[in-house]
Chains A and B, each alone.
Chain A
Amino acid sequence: MTGDRLIIGGYEFKSRLFVGTGKYKDFAETKKAIEASGADVVTVAVRRVNITDRSKENLLDYIDPKKYTILPNTAGCYNVEDALRYARLARAAGVSDLIKLEVLGDERTLFPDTVGLLEAAKILVKEGFIVLPYTNDDPIVAQKLVDIGCPCVMPLAAPIGSGLGIRNPYNLKIIMEMVKVPIVVDAGVGTASDAALAMELGADAVLMNTAIAGAKDPIAMAEAMKYAVLAGRLAYKAGRIPRKLYATASSPIEGML
């Protein structure tokens, strides 16, 4: 599908699969999985540098920021203040103005605190960040994020790392219909069919980490996800047949004995 590009905040992407870099065995595996996924957008976290063991390698030695769009996140932030701090640190570390904004509400579900999210998004947009918000599958919050100035909305399919798949396809569909910016389904995907379903619903992209990194063979799963996202996108654009209760023969009756 050449020409079927995704544009978010002025950035243009060929692949509609965004991948995380957490939970891999090592950087070599991370690199191979990302290559197999065909992703352009790669998420990273911001953490303290290990100052006692400087032999530790740097992730960005493996994931070339010239080749990939690095999307830093505010993972692990449970309040507006922390999320702002991490977003500003990510920008200071010098990759770009992009930030995947997470403000979490609860450790067990990792569900977003959408009140905090809206507050933080408003401030960061004012500071010139390109804010990609991780949010709940709530259409009203999604619209508010767009009104604030977010160039896309990233509703969850299911809790982060749960692998439960698309739990609420109807809400996601409503968000896709209501909101006039790209929708990235973020979190909850378990396997390839989940990613395909998200794309068939009309998502503009899917973001995942655990589904690939946690698979028995992460590199093979990364490749599976690449095809799932492509297949789902193609099926969405092709337009599926309506569901009917009864059969419709596909072979002609004419010419039968």
Chain B
Amino acid sequence: MMTEAIQIQVNGEPRGCRADATVGDLLRELAIKTERVAVELNLEILDRKEFDQRGLKQGDRVEILSFIGGGSSTDYSVRVS
């Protein structure tokens, strides 16, 4: 059996993946282009070149981030007269 061998967390959500999968495999499976994303593996920020070398293991926490619209912090809206 190759599939669903280990449980990891991706962006806070539990997810199964192959025991021999790398970060690069995970990104491909999620159809995420590696350009302009940042990946954190157990709080360690990975270099893009490492994606295909870093294997995943049971309980790993992966964060995948990218750029979204933003200026400054979200407003706290209280209207002044």
How many residues does chain B have at the interface if contact means C-beta atoms less than 8 Å apart? 34
Residue of B nearest to A106 (CB): B76
Whether A20 pairs with B73 at a CB distance below 8 angstroms is: no
Residues of B within 8 A of A160 (CB): 71-73, 75
Whether B69 pairs with A23 at a CB distance below 8 angstroms is: yes
Whether A21 pairs with B71 at a CB distance below 8 angstroms is: yes
Within 8 A of B (CB), among A49-96: 49, 51-52, 54, 58-60, 70, 72-73, 75-76, 88-90, 92-95
Of listed B36, B45, B64, B69, residue having the most chain A CB within 10 A:
B69
Distance between Cα atoms of A78 and B18 in the complex (Å): 37
Q: Tell whether A92 pairs with B46 under 8 Å between CB atoms, given A45-B68, A54-B32, A213-B71.
A: yes
Residues of B within 8 A of A109 (CB): 76
Distance between Cα atoms of A47 and B12 in the complex (Å): 13
Q: Which of A19, A20, A93, A213 contacts B66 (CB 8 A)?
A: A93
Whether A209 pairs with B66 at a CB distance below 8 angstroms is: no
Whether A43 pairs with B70 at a CB distance below 8 angstroms is: yes
- Cβ of A107 within 8 Å of any chain B Cβ, yes or no, is yes
Whether B38 pairs with A89 at a CB distance below 8 angstroms is: yes
- Cβ of B48 within 8 Å of any chain A Cβ, yes or no, is yes
Q: Tell whether A76 pairs with B73 under 8 Å between CB atoms, given A48-B63, A54-B30, A94-B36.
A: yes
Whether A49 pairs with B11 at a CB distance below 8 angstroms is: yes
Residues of B within 8 A of A38 (CB): none
Interface residues of chain B: helix, strand, loop or mixed (majority): loop
- Cβ of A114 within 8 Å of any chain B Cβ, yes or no, is no
Q: Which range holds the interface residue count of chain A?
A: 35 or more
In the complex, how many angstroms separate the beta carbon of B72 from the nearest chain A beta carbon? 4
Chain B positions 26 through 59: 1 when the CB is less than 8 Å from some CB of chain A, otherwise 0: 0000111001111110000111100000000000
Q: Which of B45, B70, B78 contacts A88 (CB 8 A)?
A: B45
Whether B71 pairs with A19 at a CB distance below 8 angstroms is: yes
- Cβ of B80 within 8 Å of any chain A Cβ, yes or no, is yes
- Cβ of A149 within 8 Å of any chain B Cβ, yes or no, is no
Distance between Cα atoms of A202 and B35 in the complex (Å): 39
- Cβ of A104 within 8 Å of any chain B Cβ, yes or no, is yes
Distance between Cα atoms of A22 and B35 in the complex (Å): 22
Subset of 19 A-B contacts with CB under 8 Å: A44-B69, A45-B68, A45-B70, A46-B68, A51-B30, A54-B32, A58-B36, A70-B67, A75-B73, A92-B39, A93-B37, A95-B36, A160-B71, A160-B73, A161-B72, A161-B77, A162-B75, A208-B71, A210-B71
B interface, CB within 8 angstroms of A: 10-13, 30-32, 35-40, 45-48, 63-78, 80
